[in-house]
Amino acid sequence: MSPQRPSLPLLGFAAYSGTGKTTLLEALIPKLTNAGLRLGVLKHAHHDFDVDIPGKDSYRLRKAGASQMLIASRNRHVMMTETPDAEAEFNYLLSRFDCEKLDIILVEGCKNIAFPKVELHRNELNKPWLYPNDKNIIAIAADEVVESELPQLNINDLDAIAQFVVDYAKCFGTEKPASGSCDTLSPAFLSVEQGRQAILERVQTLTDIETTELPNAYNRVLARDITSPVNVPSYRNSAMDGFAIRSDDLNREHYQVVAEIMAGDSYANVVEHGQAVKIMTGAALPEGADTVIMREQASVTGETVTFGSATIKAGQNVRQAGEDLSIGQNVFSIGQRLSSPEIGMLASLGMNHAPVYRKLKVAIFSTGNEVQAPGTPASESHIFDSNRYTLMGLLAHLGCETIDLGIIEDDEQSMVNALNNASQSADVVLTSGGVSVGDADFIKSALESLGTIEFWRINMRPGRPLAFGKINNTPIFGLPGNPVAVMVSFINFVEPALRKMQGEVNWNPLKVPAVATEDLRSRQGRTEFTRGIYSFNERGQLIVKSTGKQGSGILRSMSEANCLIEISPAVDTVKVGESVTIIPLQGRI
Ligand code: AMP
Ligand code: MG
């Protein structure tokens, strides 16, 4: 069976010999790599070509009878495969590329095979046009203009041709691959922000509202505006332990202490000129009195009190009724996540219930035949499932209810059953693994048979592959398999979506600038999320370094990190002393 073609943009250059295909490609490639594309090139050559050099070890071993010869060194490796019986198939050859590390494959030659191509044409060669008879030609690069609906480029304008290829790669998977812009729904490449926006547009806030008792309201999201049913404070009271007097009676030498008011007590009479009442913090100010002198400034002799040299301002040390909030004033708006101060404030208004959105139910499962549940004896060639547990923590943190569906083997029917079941019991489904190019088949075909699915490649590391789909109306996230990629994808895409579904509004992740204390590697064209450790230096400056090794399988890097360092696509390498953006992880994971 012929292997499936990788779901990577593929673009050929078709021309008669003498047009200068290789020369053009050689000049084009630096422009494409500068634009951030990682290129694979497939070149079809004459049947007796050889890359090996007679006399070299590899040549001798191959000629001695090795039908596959892999020669490897620090900088490159080459696999030479002898195919004496038949030429290898085009799709098979494409499957030899490590598509995870490529953005596009350019093909030179292979003119009889169907795939998108640009026709190169030079007038002086006097050769016939290919495009009228080849519907695989999607654009023309020539030194004359012809009558055709196809996009036409000047064969000598390499920048225009490069731009065409970049756009083509970006728009891969959309309906009009050759158009200049691609804000359609399933482009091959998305920036982190485009991915996040695309997801946010596709998820909706829950509509079910319930009333929860205040002790259970922590981390829930308000489903209604809250206006104050009372004044806070509800009565005028003392802000100090001390003595209350009238403000039109400030400069007297002695005052007669007529009563003592504890918090919760009240005094039925009016405080007259010459009188003072001893009062405790929070106690209601009696009528007549409007000024409090603190106890430390008072000296009491028997039933009289004097305030010595203390300067007294009319109205001092008194909290007015409604000073914090007055009746009918807006306290919280719909979409507010309730944390400790909010719950405390609701209680302070006399409320013991809150109107909230119901809890979001999130189903999770891991995929992969190599993945085994922790707590079972370790079998050979297996790894323990960490992703489900990481996700459980992340979901608990957001106050979601988790439905754990375990590990699903790489098998289409099991996947169909799991997805079907998950989409019926949950509001959102999260899976991990099986979405990289090449191994997406099970989830892909399962989702295609049940609902819709889009496979995205986000220009980021870690976490490049991301699948997003829907079964009925339930959003499904197909997260990458690598443990760090799962977390980074969750933080960037799942968390904002879950917060929206939970009803939260105005949430934005905290991002702050910090100074790099070491060079940080990145690559132009993609967002790099390096695991970082921030701290303050002796000058009080926020500084950051990486946790070290950044492999996307090294979960310890997430545990050691207290932030993600977000290096934008425009940046290649961050040098010591340069400013970078950090995303603190405290409160997120
Ligand atoms: P995949 O995308 O399925 O090829 O997975 C990428 C990598 O992540 C592979 O090395 C997997 O073994 C690993 N992986 C996948 N799922 C899990 C999991 N649940 N826990 C830990 N590692 C996983
Ligand atoms: Mg897998």
Which of the residue ranges 262-266, 400-404, 533-537 would you say has the lowest mean pLDDT?
262-266
For residue 150, pLDDT beyond 80 = yes
Residue type, 232: V
Residues within 6 Å of ligand 1 by CB: 366, 368, 370-371, 383, 385-387, 432-436, 439, 480-483
User: What is the distance in A from the centroid of ligand 2 to the CA of 444?
Assistant: 13
How far apart CA 205 and CA 505 sit, in angstroms, is 10
Q: Per-residue pLDDT averaged across 38-49, rounded?
A: 88
User: What is the distance in A from the centroid of ligand 2 to the CA of 380?
Assistant: 16
Q: Which of 3, 458, 443 is nearest to 192 (CA)?
A: 458
Comparison of pLDDT for 89 and 556, the residue scoring more: 556
For residue 520, pLDDT beyond 90 = yes
Give the position, in ligand 1's atom list, of the atom nearest the Cα of 432. 16
Question: In the structure, what pLDDT confidence band is assigned to residue 121 with cuts at 50, 70 and 90?
Answer: very high
Asked if 487 contacts 394 with a C-beta cutoff of 8 angstroms, the reply is yes
Whose Cα sits closest to atom 4 in ligand 1?
Answer: 434
Asked if 284 contacts 303 with a C-beta cutoff of 8 angstroms, the reply is no
The residues, ordered by sequence, that sit 6+ positions from 157 with a Cβ below 8 Å of its Cβ are none
Which of the residue ranges 124-133, 194-203, 328-337 would you say has the lowest mean pLDDT?
124-133
What kind and span of H or E run contains 63?
helix 57-63
User: What is the distance in A from the centroid of ligand 2 to the CA of 481?
Assistant: 6
Quick: pLDDT tens for 60-85.
Answer: 999 999 999 999 998 899 999 998 88
Mean pLDDT of the chain: 91
**What tokens were used for 253?**
């030498």
What kind and span of H or E run contains 414?
helix 412-425
Which of the residue ranges 126-140, 305-319, 360-374, 420-434 would you say has the lowest mean pLDDT?
126-140
Which ligand is closest in space to the CA of residue 386? 1
For residue 465, pLDDT beyond 80 = yes
DSSP state of 282: T
pLDDT > 70 in the chain, percent: 96
Test site for ligand 1: of 370, 415, 479, 482, most ligand atoms within 8 A of the Cβ:
482
User: What is the distance in A from the centroid of ligand 2 to the CA of 464?
Assistant: 15
Whose Cα sits closest to atom 16 in ligand 1?
Answer: 481
Q: Which of 12, 173, 206 is nearest to 94 (CA)?
A: 12
Per-residue pLDDT at 183: 32
* Ranges 115-129, 442-456, 482-496, most confident: 482-496
Comparison of pLDDT for 384 and 145, the residue scoring more: 384
Per-residue pLDDT at 179: 34
Test site for ligand 1: of 98, 100, 381, 432, most ligand atoms within 8 A of the Cβ:
432
Whose Cα sits closest to atom 15 in ligand 1?
Answer: 481
Comparison of pLDDT for 124 and 288, the residue scoring more: 288
User: What is the distance in A from the centroid of ligand 2 to the CA of 412?
Assistant: 13
Whose Cα sits closest to atom 14 in ligand 1?
Answer: 481
Comparison of pLDDT for 363 and 441, the residue scoring more: 363
For residue 513, pLDDT beyond 80 = yes
Question: In the structure, what pLDDT confidence band is assigned to residue 437 with cuts at 50, 70 and 90?
Answer: low
Give the position, in ligand 1's atom list, of the atom nearest the Cα of 370. 12
User: What is the distance in A from the centroid of ligand 2 to the CA of 233?
Assistant: 59
Give the position, in ligand 1's atom list, of the atom nearest the Cα of 434. 3
Q: Which of 266, 241, 257 is nearest to 306 (CA)?
A: 257
Per-residue pLDDT at 145: 84
Per-residue pLDDT at 345: 95
pLDDT > 90 in the chain, percent: 71
Per-residue pLDDT at 448: 84
For residue 1, pLDDT beyond 60 = no
User: What is the distance in A from the centroid of ligand 1 to the CA of 442?
Assistant: 14
Give the position, in ligand 1's atom list, of the atom nearest the Cα of 485. 8
Give the position, in ligand 1's atom list, of the atom nearest the Cα of 553. 8
For residue 337, pLDDT beyond 70 = yes
Q: Per-residue pLDDT averaged across 265-290, rounded?
A: 96
User: What is the distance in A from the centroid of ligand 1 to the CA of 348?
Assistant: 49
Per-residue pLDDT at 438: 59
Q: Which of 429, 414, 561 is nearest to 501 (CA)?
A: 429
Residue 218 neighbours by CB distance under 10 Å: 14
**Burial (0-12, 13-18, 19+ Cβ within 10 Å), 296:** exposed
For residue 216, pLDDT beyond 90 = yes
Whose Cα sits closest to atom 10 in ligand 1?
Answer: 482
How far apart CA 384 and CA 16 sit, in angstroms, is 55
Give the position, in ligand 1's atom list, of the atom nearest the Cα of 366. 19
Give the position, in ligand 1's atom list, of the atom nearest the Cα of 367. 16
Q: Per-residue pLDDT averaged across 521-538, rounded?
A: 91
**What tokens were used for 551?**
């492999």
Per-residue pLDDT at 2: 55
Whose Cα sits closest to atom 23 in ligand 1?
Answer: 481
For residue 221, pLDDT beyond 90 = yes
Q: Which of 292, 298, 345 is nearest to 317 (CA)?
A: 292
Q: Report strand pairing: 10-14 vs 104-108.
A: parallel
User: What is the distance in A from the centroid of ligand 1 to the CA of 301?
Assistant: 81
User: What is the distance in A from the centroid of ligand 2 to the CA of 311?
Assistant: 76
User: What is the distance in A from the centroid of ligand 1 to the CA of 482?
Assistant: 5
User: What is the distance in A from the centroid of ligand 1 to the CA of 432?
Assistant: 7
How far apart CA 277 and CA 161 sit, in angstroms, is 89
Question: In the structure, what pLDDT confidence band is assigned to residue 439 with cuts at 50, 70 and 90?
Answer: low
Test site for ligand 1: of 383, 386, 408, 442, most ligand atoms within 8 A of the Cβ:
383
Quick: pLDDT tens for 229-266.
Answer: 999 999 999 999 999 999 999 999 999 999 999 989 88
Per-residue pLDDT at 184: 30
Whose Cα sits closest to atom 5 in ligand 1?
Answer: 481
Give the position, in ligand 1's atom list, of the atom nearest the Cα of 482. 8
Give the position, in ligand 1's atom list, of the atom nearest the Cα of 386. 20
Residue type, 215: P
For residue 485, pLDDT beyond 60 = yes
Q: Per-residue pLDDT averaged across 559-572, rounded?
A: 91
0.75 cut: is pTM over it?
Answer: no
Question: In the structure, what pLDDT confidence band is assigned to residue 185 with cuts at 50, 70 and 90?
Answer: very low
